Structure 1
Amino acid sequence: MEIMEIIREAMIFPSVDLAKLAIYIVLSIITGFLTTIGVVFLGVGMASNAAWIVVGIILLILGLIVAFIIMGYQIGIIKTGIDHAETAPEFVWKANMITGVKYFVVNIVYLIIPAIVFLIVGWATNFFGMAYTIVSRMMLTSMSSPANATIVVSDVVPQSMILSFATSLMITGAISFIFFIIFWIIQTMAESRLAKTDDLKEALNIPEAFRDIGRIGYGKVLAVVILIFVIIAVINAVISGLDGYIHGIRIVSIIVTPYLVFFAARATGLLYSDIA
């Protein structure tokens, strides 16, 4: 499929089966509710009654289970794109949860390497050391100063250190950002491999996932990924912008966010269908 065909078809897809979208929305709300209440109960338990901690943990576990179901269903949507299925997949709770766990593992693995790069570059440029020194000096100065005193970084940290820290921050940030973007794109191929094979080993085959980009076409993959990102960013920006003029407009995110998840997953599957 051509790039704009993928985007156009993916944008329409969530509205084809509104019942499935509605179920996904409800599950998303349940996940958020269980997680939020679980955290609250943990906080209450730590402050007063340990019994509430148990309740909080149970709620968080239930929230995690529902989250896995949601994640597994997203992989199912990717598969509909690969297979060019016309409607969203059925919810198969156990299978969705198992696939969701696999998807979670994929997310972790593809985050590890960029995270390691961030730590190595940050250590090599002394980013962490200087950050610790600056924060420590700011805190010590704040503790020894009057309550209404204004603390300025340049008053407690030498100019040379500020410049070195800024340089370190730019180098660490730039290199880490590049690696995160690269592995994010490779991860889209890994998700598609998981959707196609339901095999975690295939999804974690990073060299093959990278080669899949070349098989589809570097330009095409990059264009589709960028368009997905831009569309989601623009829609969210519009909602945020309208929030200042229309009170409570953010509530539409409950519907819009799942719609965009369906859109992104479908587009990913359609993209991968070129080589499936």
Structure 2
Amino acid sequence: MEIVEIIKDAVHYPIDHPKDLLIFIVLDIIVTAMGYLVGMGGIIHTMQSDITNSIITMTSSGAIPAFNYLLIQAGTAGIIAVIIVFIINLFLNGYGLDIAKLGIERKDEGPKIDIVRQILNGIKLIIVNFVYMFVPILIMLILMQIHEVIGGIIGLAALIVFGFALLMAQCRLAKNESLMDALNIPEAMKDISKVGIVKILAILVVIFLITFILTFISSIIVKICVPLGINLFVGPILSALIGAFSFFLSYRAIGLMYSDVE
């Protein structure tokens, strides 16, 4: 498929499946509400799923130390809330993979709910994300012991390459639901050239721009609502709506992007 066709289809996909979109929005609001109820809203948001979130993100953002501290402070209620939120996010990761799979198969139907399978696929996705980020970081750390500057440059290049490979691995996981297939790094690297680096970059940039524009418009609406005193009500709803739309858009787009790979 051409880039324009992919983006056009991906934009229409969440609009054409309002019931599926509503499921994500409700779960997103539940996750956010549970976080704030136990005083952990910031950490809960750190755990929100998207096509690139992983353990690496939490580690680099400093969320894990804060997470441990808040567990102590929040007690049993906090622990239960975090477990529920973690399970929901695993489910959403697997749900997103199903959206990508439907894109790969070029089917217009919405994703069906299969909680156990989708949670298991969500776990697989976390493992895949971790492996594909761990390898280049390890390479960088080893090379920087030899020469800091050169090691840093090579390590950065490795991070970029493995970032593209990770995207292909996520598609491979969505297509076959096979962890070993997704962790086949050489084949994932080959898939980059099959899809085309220009197409991958173009689609990622367009997804980012669409999400940025929607978020910007949302922030303006929330500011307008401040004098009316309804910003605290409107803000979370808009955030959940944009998050759901971007989620469906992203997974659908990468699935369609990968649909030409045999």
State whether TM-score is above 0.5.
yes
Secondary structure in 2 matching 1:219: helix
Distance 1:227 1:54, change over 3 A: same
Aligned residue in 2 for 1:109: 131
- Give the drift of 1:30: 2.1
AA matched with 1:214: S
- Give the drift of 1:102: 0.8
Confirm or deny: 8 A CA contact 1:69 1:96 kept in the other structure: yes
Structure 1, gaps ≥5 residues long: 127-167
Confirm or deny: 8 A CA contact 1:110 1:183 kept in the other structure: yes
- For residues 45 and 229 of structure 1, what CA distance do their matches in structure 2 show? 33
Deviation string 1:35-67 (CA, Å, 9 cap, x unpaired) is: 4545659868746xxxx6233222211111111
Alignment length (residue pairs): 229
- Tell whether 2:50 aligns with 1:64: no
- Give the drift of 1:122: 6.2
- Which of 242, 255, 262 is 2:241 aligned to? 255
Q: TM-score, normalised by structure 2?
A: 0.75
- Tell whether 2:176 aligns with 1:197: yes
Task: Give the alignment of 1:49-128 within 5 angstroms.
Answer: 53-117=75-139, 119-120=141-142
Structure 2, gaps ≥5 residues long: 41-66
- Tell whether 2:190 aligns with 1:211: yes
Distance 1:216 1:121, change over 3 A: same
AA matched with 1:266: R
Aligned residue in 1 for 2:54: none
- For residues 246 and 71 of structure 2, what CA distance do their matches in structure 1 show? 37
Confirm or deny: 8 A CA contact 1:42 1:57 kept in the other structure: no
AA matched with 1:226: V
Aligned residue in 1 for 2:16: 16
Confirm or deny: 8 A CA contact 2:103 2:254 kept in the other structure: yes
Bigger radius of gyration, 1 or 2?
1
- Tell me whether 217-226 or 98-107 shows the greater mean CA deviation: 217-226
Q: Percent identity?
A: 32
- Give the drift of 1:187: 1.4
The RMSD of aligned alpha carbons is: 2.9
Q: TM-score, normalised by structure 1?
A: 0.72
